[in-house]
Amino acid sequence: MDIPNYAKAVMQTLENAGYEAYIVGGCVRDTLMGKLPHDYDIASSALPEEAKRALSGFKVIETGIKHGTITVISNGQQIEVTTYRIDGDYSDGRHPESVSFTQKLENDLARRDFTINGMAYGREGIIDIFGGREDLKRGIIRCIGEPEKRFSEDALRIMRAIRFSAVLGFEIEESTARSASECRSLLKKISAERILAELKQLIRGKDTERVLLQFPEIFAEILPELACEIGFEQYSRYHDSTLYEHTARAVGAVRSALEKTGGEHSEEAETALGLAMLLHDCGKVRRQSRSADGEGHYYGHAAVGAEMTDAALRRLKCSNTERERICKIIKYHDIPIELSGKFLRRQLAKHGDLFRDIVAAHIADDMAKREFCRERIPTYLKALEKIKEIEDEKPCLTLKELAVNGSDLTDMIPPSPELGRILRKLLMEVIDGKLENEKGALKARAAELTARC
């Protein structure tokens, strides 16, 4: 296995001092999968003080010495060294009451969550007591030990199981999957921040749609807003699935929707759109009505959904910027998209860059409906092309960009709320292409408007 020299140096130093040292956990898993791990963890038989002494040639930070962890800086890179540990009883479903140190690597590996995360690599090569290598090869997430006990000890493992399943595209072994679902109510004990952190990784997975469809009850546990979508018949000519299935498909369509919109898209854009699609229709059930012909209608569901999502994301301690972005996408996810310059300039003025997210949401949404709904996608793409052209013209879209400001007009209108109203009116007319953004024209129009008041 290929291990970077800075990690080898730390292992070697511990071994030279007479201790055992192994690379463990996620970095072994990632390396075996041919991926570059984002960090390396070392487990060692050395007690924390012993490890500190043995590694005195390195800069050492006492990050979590009570739990046996120190951070070592080796050749400019951070690496965590943790003493072999046994976790004590978990009474709160989150943290072990105590941890004790052990001299046996097997014990340390046994406390880890899944077989693919329970391997070590050292002098003898790979140590694989629980069949992690085989599960990795076959693409299986399986608890180490009794699944129900492991999920009851720490319910965050439920989120980790479905996150790995979505991100790696792995199936969850049957009894692990059953217990994850059965233990889901324990997720209440897990902090909102940690749930959200897992959800944000999960939502960008390659198999998120499958995981959403496989574990609706787990998602309804962390997002009760989704509960009413499960099994909900839409009675709509646009849909051929239940509301929850449509939601799962829309999330699954996010990457492809962003790719269609072209250009670079960031991880944040993908996460925000993923979470937006997950919650985009949560207001539908509250806003349902049926016309005489039996067709289901959902007037106003986008605004209701945006409000429900705002509450959900506050509960999950999502950052304000991200929450606002997601809620706006939801609020406008079903506005009719027109191709006129006037409409597009208005959207740009109102939403700025966010308009691209709104269009991408339309695409993901339509990809999750009946086939014929995709006919609208070329129009959306055309709208984005036109938006680019409009941006290249550097149009005036804000009061700041208007060729007059308040003081240019004070000889006509004294500073007052009326002045503000006139300036906004001028801006709207400029955006709509009715008025040129030129001082003389704007002043003349302002005079007209004041005369009329």
When CB distances to ligand ATP are compared, the closest residue is 26
Q: Does 118 bind Mg ion (CB under 5 A)?
A: no
Residues in 22-81 at the binding interface with ligand ATP, rule: CB under 6 A: 25-26, 41
CA 21 centroid distance within chain: 35
Closest distance to ligand ATP from the beta carbon of 258 (Å) = 23
Is 154 among the residues that bind ligand ATP (CB under 6 A)? yes
Binding to Mg ion in span 194-233, by CB under 5 A: none
Q: Alpha carbon 446 to chain centroid distance?
A: 47
Helix axes 320-331, 267-279, angle to 10 degrees: 50
Q: Where are the beta strands (DSSP E) in 4-56?
A: 21-24, 41-44
Contacts of 426 (CB under 8 A, 6+ apart): 402, 404, 435, 442, 445, 446, 449
Q: How far is the CB of 318 from ligand ATP (least distance, A)?
A: 19
Binding residue for ligand ATP, selected from 156, 218, 222, 359, defined by CB under 6 A: 156
Asked if 22 contacts 61 with a C-beta cutoff of 8 angstroms, the reply is no
The smaller minimum CB distance to ligand ATP, of residues 167 and 447, is found at 167
**For residues 26 and 205, which CB has a smaller minimum distance to Mg ion in the complex?**
26
Does residue 117 touch ligand ATP according to CB under 6 A? Answer: yes
Of the listed pieces 112-120, 261-269, 400-408, 431-439, which binds ligand ATP according to CB under 6 A? Answer: 112-120
In the bound complex, what is the minimum distance in angstroms from residue 271's beta carbon to ligand ATP? 15
| 157 scored as a contact of ligand ATP (CB under 6 A) | yes
The residue count for binding ligand ATP (CB under 6 A) is: 9
Q: Are 262 and 278 in contact (CB under 8 A)?
A: no
C-alpha to C-alpha distance for 153 and 213, rounded to whole angstroms:
26
Exposed, middle or buried: residue 95 (CB in 10 Å: 0-12, 13-18, 19+)? middle
Shortest separation between residue 116's beta carbon and Mg ion, angstroms: 12
Amino acid, res. 74: S
CA dihedral 362, 363, 368, 371 (to 10 degrees): 110
Residue 132 touching ligand ATP (CB under 6 A): no
Does residue 112 interact with ligand ATP by CB under 6 A? Answer: yes
- Give the binding range for ligand ATP (CB under 6 A) out of 153-161, 242-250, 279-287, 335-343: 153-161
Options 50-58, 66-74, 109-117, 221-229: segment touching ligand ATP (CB under 6 A): 109-117
Beta-sheet pairing, 77-83 with 41-44: parallel
Token output for 125: 């090569």
CA diameter of the chain: 92
Which residues from 13-52 bind Mg ion, rule CB under 5 A? Answer: 26
Q: Which amino acid is at 182?
A: E
CB 254 within 8 A of CB 364: yes
| Closer residue to ligand ATP (CB): 27 or 358 | 27
158 binds ligand ATP (CB under 6 A): no
Question: Shortest Cβ distance from residue 160 to Mg ion (Å)?
Answer: 11
| 117 contact, one of ligand ATP, Mg ion, none, CB 5-8 Å limit per kind | ligand ATP
Q: Which residues bind ligand ATP (CB under 6 A)?
A: 25-26, 41, 112-113, 117, 154, 156-157
